[in-house]
Each structure stands twice: as structure tokens, then as C-alpha cells.
Amino acid sequence: MSVFLGQRTVGSITILELGEHLRAENVSEFRDRLQHLTKQGQIHLLLDCSSIRIVDSQGIASLVGNWVSLKKRGGKLGLLNPSVQLQGVLRIAGLRQTIESFDDIGKALPSFEK
């Protein structure tokens, strides 16, 4: 199963809809796609996480690694509608306040313009 269900662009922001799993077996696909977008100059990424049901430690590590990489390039990675499961993992890992999350796309989009 692919980690990505869809992709769309709103202005300079690329919105990626994630599937149900962000685990070790699809981390390379996740990393490669985000790196490809970054190389194309798409450094403002919003991940729609509403469908995520299962995330493991390698999935979180990849999420954080990509967040750091984008930040170093002057970009931003945000989470849209993180599922209850993902919110719990982020809280346990101490990342809930680090990676910005949004419950509403209307609030997310303006934050990328700052």
C-alpha cells in the first residue's frame, strides 16, 4: 500500500494526503517523495494525516528528519488533521509542540506565508 493517496497544490503549498500507515516498510517511499519535491523547489509541505491509523518509530523518525531538512532550506512541514493515533505518538515522543499541526486547512495555509 502506498503511503501517499493524493497530491495537490494551493499557491506555493503542496498538500500530500497520506494513507493509513507510516511504517518502516514505506519510510523510503515517504522520504524519497519529500526529497524529490524539495529538489523541485517545493519547500512548503502540508501533510494531510487524517487517514493515518498506524505509525511506528521509523515513521516518526522520517517525519522529523524531513521536518528538519525543510526547515534548514527555509521551508516548512506541517500536519493537517493528524489522527488521534498520530497525535498520541507525537505527544509521547515530545514532538506535539515541535511539528505544527492544524485542524483546519483555512488556518494552515496562512501560517505558511509567515
**Integer Cα distance of 87 and 60 in angstroms:** 11
The enclosing domain of 53 has a CATH number of: 3.30.750.24
pLDDT in tens, 37-57: 999 999 999 999 999 999 999
Number of domains in the chain: 1
What is the percentage of the chain residues whose pLDDT exceeds 70?
98
Enclosing domain of residue 52: 4-111
* Mean pLDDT confidence for 62-77: 95
Collapsing DSSP states into helix, strand and coil, what is residue 61? helix
Rounded to two decimals, the pTM is 0.94
- Whether 114 shows a pLDDT value over 80: the answer reads no
> Which residues pair with residue 30 across a beta bridge?
none
| Mean pLDDT across the chain | 93
